[in-house]
Structure 1
Amino acid sequence: MKKLLLPALLFTVMSTSAQTSTWHVSATYPVKGDGKWDYIAVSPVTQQLYVAHGTEVNILDKATGAEAGVIPHTTGVHGIAFAVPFGKGFTSNGKLNTVTVFDLHNNQVQGEIPVGGNPDAILFEPFSDKVITCNGASKDLSIINPNTQKVVATVPLQARPETAVSDGKGRLFVNLEDKSRIAVVNMATFKVEKEWPLGKGEAPTGLAIDTVHHRLFAGCDNKLMIVLDEHDGRTIATLPIGDGCDGVAFDAAGQLVFASNGEGNLSVYHQETADKYKLVAHVPTAKGAKTLTVDPLTHTVFLPVADRQAAGADGKAAIAPGTFRVLAVSK
């Protein structure tokens, strides 16, 4: 999770096809509560939206936005992961230094697991059958056995992990935010094998992977998205995006790469080939809409956001009550 501290101008690099794109905000789903927000995810089991929101996870019908449930007592929640083979879901509770376990079918809480400091992004890694938290404060990864619901390993890192993706074949790629590098973790040994620089990219946040063409997409804080070869870390392309990116997603069916930018827009690139990318849309969203998920079935992009009040004497802008919502972006 990356905080957007200052307003920024929209980047102006835009192709003709981007200017005429039909991508737009097609629906807005109001959500109760005024807490901070972070990641959003679509359950592959129930096809519902899970929205990390302050002290709870809001569950919504992805087609209508209707409230479908809540996972409570997840203070400082950042992310949600789905361990489908085990029938369990997991939330990373940043202020509690814990992970909440819930049933994937009925959302009933099954337990809570102590992990590292300030767990942020969380994912299920299919090669090892483990759940992984990226712990920003302790600068490490917690490796959780979903069956026993216990931490079975801790992977120390040399910097703060922002998020991670898996190639499904034994390697985990981790954005190191304050080092501007990507760590490669062997999921058989739970050890860091190497680190790769990000070229011109600085302070990486969002990260996505194309496992067919073996490409990594790292959204960076200096308004760039870096495309790397997952085999050797070579920089393939350096793509302009908006400011305040905190989420990147890849839609394999459409060969589209999305970057959600907190300044208030969504950058959409089409993968022409493994090495060539074309900007096809720069979609207005809302200021603060910095994280996202793409639904692999409908290809809709969902982004949580709320409005802010005027900044106080301390320079902080409180969330405007009653404005939290999820935006649906589609063609």
Structure 2
Amino acid sequence: MNEPQGVIYISEFNKIFVANGGDGTCKMLEGDTLRLITSLHLSSDADNIRYDPTAKHLFVGYGEGGIAVVDARNGKRLGDIPLEGHPESFQLEKSGPRIFVNVPKASHIAVIDRVKRAVVATWPLQSARSNFPMALDETHQRLFIGCRQPATVVVCDTRSGRAVVSLTISGDTDDLFYDETHKRIYVSCGEGYIDIFGQLDPDHYRAVAKVPTAAGARTSLFAPTLDRFYLAVPRRGNQAGEIRVYAVQ
């Protein structure tokens, strides 16, 4: 692998897909043996991966502005959806055909119809930019956009793209998750904190906690079925590289 960025395991096909930022490839491996089956070259900087279990399609962000559509059954590239810049985090809605995509270079959210494989709308960010992480609360039709300049989470209405409220967070955010069970937002920030907000209703939120972590610790994963939050801490000086595991209560 060459700078792996996005990884996903598709259990129904026993396949692992890995997007590599270093050489711009998306590799398909056997799940049990890790044998390489095929490798797709996506020009450069292959990054985030998402899966549509109904269509059996993978969506892989890459390069200066594109999302590749890949058949999860055989690893074949089915097409591409052009964007106005490199796609960072993106989320697929389950109740419809849309994909919401952070495009920091354009300071907007691109809305894709994944059936048409085309951008059908763009929602400009008015009060913030450098929009990298994203989470979706589909039940309440809210999209959470993590921005670095200034350090905020912008909450948008997915029916219109309208910004509902902005929440001040710590600096250098890179991952963001919505906990549907506990009605919370978790934001991992490289400044050295996990910021936690409670959702009072779709338009109102309150700061619950600011958990100290370590400098540069901004990559994370929330596992809702386990009630666990995993944080990658990089090695810096006397700080050891490690994975920290937090219990969600």
* TM-score between the two structures when normalised by the length of structure 1: 0.71
CA distance in 1, matches of 2:129, 2:198: 23
CA distance in 2, matches of 1:160, 1:212: 28
Give runs of aligned pairs for residues 192-271 of structure 1, distance below 5 A: 192-222=119-149, 223-271=151-199
Q: 1:120 to 1:272 in 2, by over 3 A?
A: same
CA distance in 2, matches of 1:230, 1:218: 12
Structure 2 counterpart of 1:27? none
Q: 1:255 to 1:99 in 2, by over 3 A?
A: same
Shift of residue 236 of structure 1?
A: 1.4
Give ranges in structure 1 of 5+ residues lacking alignment: 1-73, 310-319
Query: Residue 178 of structure 1: SS of its match in structure 2?
Result: helix
Q: 1:177 to 1:299 in 2, by over 3 A?
A: same
Shift of residue 124 of structure 1?
A: 1.1
Q: Which AA in structure 2 matches 1:193? A: V
Residue of 139, 146, 150 corresponding to 2:76: 150
The answer to which of 122-131 and 240-249 deviates more is 122-131
Residue of 182, 200, 219 corresponding to 1:291: 219
Q: 1:85 to 1:232 in 2, by over 3 A?
A: farther
Structure 1 counterpart of 2:108? 181
CA distance in 1, matches of 2:34, 2:135: 27
Residue of 26, 31, 42 corresponding to 1:99: 26
Aligned length: 246
Q: Is the 8 A contact 1:249 1:292 kept in 2?
A: no
Q: 1:126 to 1:171 in 2, by over 3 A?
A: farther
Give runs of aligned pairs for residues 164-175 of structure 1, distance below 5 A: 164-168=90-94, 169-175=96-102
CA distance in 2, matches of 1:271, 1:106: 42
Q: Is the 8 A contact 1:285 1:327 kept in 2?
A: no
Is 1:275 the equivalent of 2:192? no
Structure 2 counterpart of 1:44? none
Give runs of aligned pairs for residues 41-52 of structure 1, distance below 5 A: none
CA distance in 2, matches of 1:125, 1:116: 23
Q: Percent identity?
A: 26
Greater RCO structure (CA 8 Å; 6+ sep) = 1
CA distance in 2, matches of 1:171, 1:127: 13
* TM-score between the two structures when normalised by the length of structure 2: 0.93
CA distance in 2, matches of 1:216, 1:329: 24
Q: Which runs of 4+ in 1 moved over 4 A?
A: 105-108
CA distance in 1, matches of 2:78, 2:206: 43
Q: Which AA in structure 1 matches 2:165? A: A
Shift of residue 102 of structure 1?
A: 2.5
Give ranges in structure 2 of 5+ residues lacking alignment: none
Shift of residue 110 of structure 1?
A: 3.0
Q: Is the 8 A contact 2:85 2:105 kept in 1?
A: yes
Q: Which AA in structure 2 matches 1:148? A: N
Larger strand fraction of residues:
2
